Chain A
Amino acid sequence: MAINFIHPEFEIIREEKRCIKCRACERQCANEVHSYDQEFDCMESDESKCVDCQRCVSLCPTRALKIRKTDNRYRENANWQQQAMEEIFRQADTGGVLLSSMGTPKDYPNYWDKILINASQVTNPPIDPLREPMETKVFLGKKLNKLEFDENGELLSEIPPQIELEMPIMFSAMSYGSISENAHKSLARAATELGTCYNTGEGGLNQDLYKYGANTIVQVASGRFGVHKDYLNAGAAIEIKMGQGAKPGIGGHLPGRKILEKVSRTRMIPVGVDAISPAPHHDIYSIEDLRQLIFSLKEATNYEKPVIVKIAAVHNVAAIASGIARSGADIIAIDGFRGGTGAAPTRIRDNVGIPIELALAAVDQRLRDEKIRNDVSIVIGGSIRSSADVVKAIALGADAVYIGTAALLALGCHLCRTCHTGKCNWGIATQREDLVKRLNPDIGAKRLANLVSAWNHEIMEMMGGMGINSIEALKGNRLMLRGIGMSAKELEIFGISHAGE
């Protein structure tokens, strides 16, 4: 065997004095890092297999374990940093495209952290959400531009097909196959409890979850997995996935080993066969093709469901969004380049696309400039990390946000970014039955509901501070935002003033 150039990334520190040799770490590690040495009556570890998912650390009853980054270093080089070198070693070893999971870990500017929120002082009163009503209900979909009345003044108009949400936060698309059945169940139940929606992703809808249909967005992606008439009619809305923030311009590939019996049935493909989603929809090579698909889906669902078109945030996102708004879509979902994924080529994930903050600001303004903002709702995702990010997104002009990574974190994900191995120790991004059962949906749904309702409380607190008592008065209210440490160009794109102005 050739020399392995790469030193293990992590070190497992086991405090021998604390270890009681209960072997929980050994039993819980799907990567088989830990083992028990009978002869010496002690635990051993093979750190080369460790992905730092923290499962063993979390379950160790005496907190004897911790994992840290190795301090083994190649010779310092500001240009050729360790990671760049290791990636070269890895590719020289395998000849393959580098794969990664979840959102980019690179240190690109995060504009949420460069935006500050306003509050009322003296000239108007802050509102206490514990004492006064504070409304976060939102409707997603096309809004009427003109109301029609009969001669007696009775309304003839009806609300067009829309999604009604109790709060402006939804769970973003994560397919059954890329995540486990129990993760899906947790999302579905939490969405139902919260009065919001989760999204099937492109893997179809497991028969057991049809009962959560009112809180489900069903996705139609380029692979068309699991799409049939009942599926389209099962949800509250249909999402056409054109792209994903983590891998714009790239399709998907769910390896055959994850296509077990139930996934196969749901996706309507044979067991063990790779599920390949092409980069484009092969019936959509242009905007007028998209229009045809939108209306085909509306036709199939009797014009009762709003249609979402999801795109990745790319350079000319505003023009693309404008085209989508004119194509009959009711909602545009935009996914920023920090968004997560079950697997993406590393180079794509880390270099293609733009931050969602800029994309949102540009799209919202463009649609207003073209006077078509009312024709579509905007949902954004791609690294919404807290309720403050949600408030900033809505003030910039979003109608609602998608959270994916944050939801997975609530379920136990520790962002080890090895979803593509299929050995998720937390039972989320895996189809291995012994691992899937580690995520009890009773716990998962509760944790998700806790997270989102906590965020909603915080949103209400921040709204109250601004003297706003309904979320619609926050939408697009950019005067409530100020930039900090931004260039004049950045401020111009955001349409906000600098702090102090």
Chain B
Amino acid sequence: MLKKEGEIRIPSGCAISGIINRSGQCSINGSEIVKSISYMHDRSNGLGGGFAGYGIYPEYADQYAFHVFYDDMSAREETERYLDRTFEMVNLSRIPTRKHPRIKNEPQIWRYFVNPIFTVLQEDQDEIDEKKFIVETVFYINTYIKGAYIFSSGKNMGVFKAVGFPEDVGEFYRLEEYDGYSWTAHGRYPTNTPGWWGGAHPFALLDYSIVHNGEISSYDANRRFIEMFDYKCTLQTDTEVITYIIDYLNRKQGLNFEDIAKIIAAPFWEEIERLPEAEAKRIKLFRNTFASLLITGPFSIILGFDGGLMALNDRLKLRSMVVGEKDNIVYLASEECAIRGICPDIENVWAPQGGEPIIIRVGK
């Protein structure tokens, strides 16, 4: 029998795309990103597609939005019982979908808008780390409740993914009903998978979501290091480990995305030697401290976070990635066609260098 994602490591190639409105206005309709990724149809093989949208839940902006796949009723009952103990459920519902001829075997797909509840004791002792609590909850449910899988857990953002071509997945989830200030998309080309919905991308934790094209050669070095810090790489995918690395460096170490790029796609020593002394010292310390978080092998990622996007290539630029701009909108994609398809009069199209992060933050 073919092994499921997480039981075995499955290499895959992919297409990625991203759009962001610098002004922070939620002006980008979900259909835009669906159209963009559809131009790269041949970079996917129908075994996974997905989207992440930011700013899509303005009415529940202060709640964590959990998107959950359930294999069966008992998984849902157990999960809801678990959540009920420590969360206030502000809203829960099935995620609206439409019947689609090419999207099959869908699990139950639920959405919860929740507020964590802390005990008086925890509040008194100033022990509350809300994000840590969310992460632990997600890890607990995904690890220990059979048939339940939380695939989105941020605020005012959400991930929508399935087994299928990304454009079909977009239609299935009725993305034209959502507007956001930024979107990312992913079309998957795994070399061997039975196709599990949870294994589709984006992969998300808290507000971080990652779409990734590539196959990193440093995977197990990264995984075994990051697992020392209470992460569990249950899916064995690149995207999962990259997300945890970014969560660790950003949330736990307090590093900004510019510095994170210098750690995961670190400059070569010979480049570091040529830098001004202070900068060289800084990067040397990064490489020294976080040596095992260097990511090698081909990758192009678009990281979605609260208030922005970051695009990054591996330091040798072994995967394609182009950026284009038009007015307030910035487009990112594996291929230029995905940008020109939705913005024919695009200005400023360029390919960032390997290891050069493109970070777009929305204005306040």
Contact = CB atoms under 8 A, between A and B. Distances in A.
Whether A and B touch directly in their complex, counting CB atoms under 8 A apart, is answered as: yes
A124 B297 contact: yes
Interface in B257-274: 266, 268-270
Contacts of B107: none
Nearest to B281: A155
A368 B266 CA distance: 24
Nearest to B271: A133
A469 B292 contact: no
A473 interface: yes
Interface string B121-150: 000000000000000000000000000000
A127 B217 CA distance: 11
Given A468-B217, A479-B9, 11 more contacts: A123-B215, A124-B214, A124-B297, A124-B318, A144-B289, A147-B255, A368-B228, A468-B297, A469-B296, A473-B294, A478-B220
Interface size grouping (class) on chain B: 35 or more
Interface size grouping (class) on chain A: 35 or more
A147 B285 contact: yes
Interface stretch (A28-36, A135-143, A280-288, A289-297): A135-143
A123 B253 contact: no
Interface string A443-484: 000000000000000000000001111101111111110000
Most chain B C-beta atoms within 10 Å of own C-beta, residue among A158, A374, A397: A374
B231 to A, nearest CB: 12
Contact of B221 (A125, A149, A153, A475): A475
Contacts of A137: 269
Interface string A92-127: 000000000000000000000000000010011101
B288 A139 contact: yes
A132 interface: yes
A373 B228 contact: yes
A124 B220 contact: no
B13 interface: yes
Interface of A: 120, 123-125, 127, 132-133, 135, 137, 139, 143-144, 146-147, 149, 153, 155, 157-159, 162, 368, 371, 373-374, 397, 466-470, 472-480
Contacts of B12: 123
Given A147-B253, A469-B316, A159 B288 contact: yes
Most chain A C-beta atoms within 10 Å of own C-beta, residue among B266, B288, B315: B288
B173 interface: no
A269 B214 CA distance: 62
B222 to A, nearest CB: 8
B285 A473 contact: no
Given A123-B11, A143-B288, A470 B294 contact: yes
A290 B6 CA distance: 43
B269 A135 contact: yes
B312 to A, nearest CB: 16
User: Top 7 nearest A-B pairs by Cβ distance?
Assistant: A473-B218, A479-B220, A467-B217, A472-B291, A477-B221, A473-B296, A124-B215
Contacts of B284: 159
